[in-house]
Chain A
Amino acid sequence: MSHVVVVDYGMGNLRSVAKALEYVAGSEHTIEVSGDLQRLEAADKVVFPGQGAMRDCMREIDARGLRDAVTHAAKNKPFLGLCIGLQLLFDHSEEGDTPGLGILSGQVKKFPAEAMMDAKGNRLKVPHMGWNEVYPHQAHPLWEGIASGTRFYFVHSYYVQPAQSDVIAAHSAYPFQFACAAEQEALFAVQFHPEKSDRAGLKLLSNFLTWSP
C-alpha cells in the first residue's frame, strides 16, 4: 500500500497521468494530484510531470514554494519524472536559457536543425512526436516486463545530455542517440509519456507503483 502524489504546479494537464496511474493502481495504491507542500511531504512516492516551456515550469515551482520539497522528494523517495519532469532535474536548459533544479548534472539541448535528417535524406520534424524505440542500458525494476526496443510515445523538442553516463537508464535515437531515461537511487525519470504509451507505458507505471528501492 502506498500513497502516490502527482505534483501539481499549475503546468498543464495532469489528468492523463492521474488516470493512467489510477488504472494500474487497483486498491493497493492511492493516487492524489496535489500542489500542497504538506501533501507532498506526506507522500510515499512522487510523480513529477511537466508540460509546456521549461522557464514557465521553473517559475511556477518557485512561485508555489515547491522547489525544496520537490528536491527533497527526488533525493529521498521513489520519484518518477515525466517529460519536462525529466528535463527539470538537470542543471540547465537551452530552452529560454533556464537553470533547472540541478539534482542531476547535465544540460538540456534543443534538437539541432542541421542534424535532423534520416539515413535516406528525409527531413526529420521537431517536435520529435510519436512512437520511438527505447533501449534500456541496464536491468532496472521499472523496465521489468518491457523488452529492449519497445516503443513509447514521445513529444519534445529538447533532450537531456547527462554529464555522467551512468545515470542514463535508456536511450532512443532521433536521428542520433539521446538519453531518454535517467536514474539515480530512488529517482527515475523518462522523456517519453508512459501515460500515453499504451500497454508498455502502463507496465512502466505499474512497475513504479510496486517498486521498493
Chain B
Amino acid sequence: MGLAKRIIPCLDVNAGRVVKGVNFTGLRDAGDPVEVARRYDDQGADEVTFLDITASSDNRGLIFSVIEAVSAQVFIPLTVGGGVRQVSDVRALLNAGADKISMNTAAVLDPRLIADSADRFGSQCIVVAIDAKRNPATGGWQVYTHGGRNATGLDAVEWAIEICRLGAGEVLLTSMDRDGTRNGFDLDLTRAVSEAVPVPVIASGGVGSLQDLADGILIGKADAVLAASIFHYGEHTIGSAKAYLAQQGVEVRL
C-alpha cells in the first residue's frame, strides 16, 4: 500500500455562490461554498477545486471571501482557478487560504507566469490546466485557451512537458472533446500526458460513471480524477466512488 489516487470534486463559483448548469439554459444556485465543500469533505473528498466563473468584474473579488471562509472550516487541500492572470493574483489567492492555484490561458499567453509563480511560491502550489482537443491533422491534441474558444497551435503533450520544465507541480488535463459528454475521459490523451510528465496529472472532462473514474486511473494512468456533475446531482457520492474504485483495485483513502 502507498499513495492513494485522489478524487477531486470541482465546484463552479459565480459571484460567491456555488452554481451548476441546468440543461444548457443557465446557472442555478447550488449553495453556500462552505456548506458544499464541507459536505464533500464529509464524504471523503481528497481535495476540492473551485473554479471561479464570475463574469462581472464587480463580483470577482468575492472569490477571496469564499476561499477565506472555506479554508477556516474545511481542512483538506483547496485549489482555485479561473481568472488567474499575474503573480499578484496567485499571491492574493494563496493569502486567502488556497493551497494550489490553477492557471490556464494566462500561462499560454505568458509562460513566464508559471516560472515566476513557481519561483516565488514553490512548484507544489502551481497547477497548470490544459484544455485539449483532438487534432486530426497531427493525430495528437491541440491546446485551447479562453475557455476552449481559441486554438493555440500548441501540442498538448509538448506543452505539458514545457510547463513542467517551467515549474508546474501538477497538470489538470481536460479533454474538450469529452467535457460534458459523460462518455468518459479521453484515455489516450490522459495516458499520453501522464506518461510524458514527471508530475501528477489530474484527469478531467467526460465522467459519466464510476467506471470512467477507474478507467482514468487504471488505463489513463492519472494520479487523480476530477469530476463535477456525477457528484453534484447526487447520482454518486465520493464515498460510493471510492468504494467502487477500491473494488477495481485502485488504492484510495477510505
| Chain A residues with a Cβ under 8 A of chain B | 12-13, 15-16, 19-20, 22-23, 51-53, 113, 118, 122-133, 149, 151, 153-157, 173-175, 195-198, 201-202
Contact = CB atoms under 8 A, between A and B. Distances in A.
A198 B76 CA distance: 6
Contacts of A16: 71, 75, 97, 99
A127 B169 contact: yes
A68 B96 CA distance: 31
B75 A196 contact: yes
Secondary structure call for the B interface: loop
B253 A51 contact: no
B21 interface: no
A129 B170 contact: yes
Interface in B1-24: 1-6
Contact of A151 (B122, B224, B253): B253
Given A19-B75, A19-B97, A173-B2, 9 more contacts: A13-B97, A23-B73, A113-B198, A123-B195, A131-B253, A155-B169, A195-B75, A196-B75, A197-B75
B99 A196 contact: yes
Contacts of A15: 71, 95-97
B55 interface: no
Contacts of B41: 198
B198 A126 contact: yes
A155 B124 contact: yes
Contacts of B124: 51, 127, 129, 155-156
A127 B199 contact: yes
A198 B195 contact: no
B200 A129 contact: yes
B160 to A, nearest CB: 13
Contacts of B103: none
Given A16-B71, A52-B121, A127 B2 contact: no
Interface residues of B, number: 36
B221 interface: yes
A159 B145 CA distance: 37
Given A127-B200, A133-B1, A122 B221 contact: yes
Interface string B143-170: 0000000000000000000000000011
Given A19-B71, A201-B75, A202-B75, A132 B4 contact: yes
B6 A131 contact: yes
B201 to A, nearest CB: 8
A52 B77 contact: no
B95 A128 contact: no
A133 B223 contact: no
Secondary structure call for the A interface: mixed
A88 B154 CA distance: 40
B132 interface: no
Contacts of A127: 123-124, 169, 199-200
Contact of B3 (A20, A132, A197, A198): A132
A192 B94 CA distance: 19
Nearest to B94: A13
Contact of A23 (B46, B75, B94): B75
Contacts of B77: 153, 196
A118 B2 contact: yes
B72 interface: yes
Contacts of B73: 23
Nearest to B67: A15
A196 B76 contact: yes
Contacts of A13: 94-95, 97, 121
B198 A12 contact: no
Given A15-B95, A16-B99, A129 B121 contact: no
A184 to B, nearest CB: 27
Contacts of B197: 125
